[in-house]
Amino acid sequence: MMPSLRPSRPVASKLPRPGKQPAVENTQPEKVEGNQIKRSPSSPQGGAKKRSAFGDITNAHKHLQVLQKKKEGQKCAFKKNKNVPSNEVTKNNELNIRKTQKKIATEVVVPQVKEDKVEEKNEPDQKKFQPPVEIPEQKVFPPGVEDIDQDAVDDPFATSEYAMDIFRYMQEREEKFLLTNYMEIQTDISKEMRSILVDWMVEVQENFELNHETLYLAVKLVDHYLSVSVSMKEKLQLLGSTAVLIASKFEERCPPCLDDFLYICDDAYRREELVAMEMEILQKLNFDINIPVPYRFLRRFAKCAHANMETLTLARYACELTLQEYDFVQESASKLAASCLLLALKMKELGDWSATLQHYSGYQIKDLVPLVKRLNFLLTYQPNEKLKAVRAKYSHRVFYEVAKMPPLDMLKLEEALQS
């Protein structure tokens, strides 16, 4: 069955307002096409009235009506003047008409003249204020200092033009993340507990095959959290695993999932506890976790010294040993990295602290001597026999077995540093 047509809505006739003539009704009949009624545009329910762009929201139509009335009044005045004798009123009307003609003429002509003048004034200004051509500044280095980023100009991933600024910025941020002796506020944990926790975090980094930057950042997160919050020993492993989770999200391309961290904790904690600890760490640190780590500076300084992979791995071994020791927490990342590299250079007998290393690191050899001696003492005497993760890791042939290399004698090291 065909659907029945809806009855058309009856058009209510509008009553004329008092004092106003009623509107003339449209006498054209409504057109019918295929059961559809087309209403004329003039009807109350007809199509929308056409309007020019912005015509209804401006006063342009009023201005046109005024001009049209003036023109009609001008024609009527001239017709009346032919038959009616002139008097003072007609003379005043003629003067007023002439004034309106002059105003209309100026309204049409003056804006064009002004626009031409503005264009003539803008042409020389555009030529005068052309953007200057940027010329790249040439790098100027002191005598004896080489440009270590020159070979990476064609590599877009190396960002060689920004490398110097990036590491200078990281060194400036070190002052914000200097740690104090936070063990004074901790009542339930000790230095030995922290060392055992970091030793376990090294094993986690190996099992998950995470980047070294992830391990360094996770240890930094633990230290900075403990410097502002008191923790119990029952929650210490939860703190370490959560710090590795946060660092993995920050550094890794494919970080491990949350269930993996619950598994390595032997299901000692629930999922809700791990998420709550993650939120607490981030809030305590104000979500500012871009902390400079020594590992990044170490790669930069090794490039300055043209050190091979074995020498760099030896410096990494000394630097990673410091993660377990609380006495090295207060050292800045760049200074610790420079001292580890200097010790590796002396152990491999590869020369002195060059001018290039001094320029890029910002440290002279006299600034590094006390820290280098402490690092050599750490390699010589193992403070805790329970901490075996780092030494076992760097005893593997993948890391050139640098942990088996005999350390320097303290007297020989002193002579090598003074020469």
Which stretches of the chain drop beneath a pLDDT of 50? Answer: 1-16, 20, 22-58, 75-86, 108-121, 123
Q: Which residue has the tokens 């400036």?
A: 172
Amino acid 237: pLDDT:
95
Phi then psi for residue 259, to 5 deg, are -65, -30
Cβ-based neighbours of 179, under 8 Å, separated by 6 or more: 223, 224, 227, 329, 330
Amino acid 5: pLDDT:
47
Which amino acid is it at 4? S
Question: Which region holds residue 52: left if phi is over 0, alpha if psi is between -120 and 50, else beta?
Answer: beta
Amino acid 236: pLDDT:
95
Structural domains in the chain, CATH included, are 178-291 (1.10.472.10), 292-419 (1.10.472.10)
- State which H helix or E strand residue 274 sits in: helix 271-284
Amino acid 13: pLDDT:
47
Amino acid 163: pLDDT:
87
Amino acid 160: pLDDT:
80
Of residues 341, 360, 361, the one with CA closest to residue 352: 341
Amino acid 419: pLDDT:
73
**pTM summary value:** 0.67
Amino acid 40: pLDDT:
45
Of residues 378, 414, 398, 407, the one with CA closest to residue 206: 398
**Can you point out the beta strands (E) in 34-96?**
36-38
Amino acid 191: pLDDT:
94
Distance CA 322, CA 329 (A): 8
Q: CA distances (Å), 195 to each of 40, 159, 329, in order?
A: 91, 37, 11
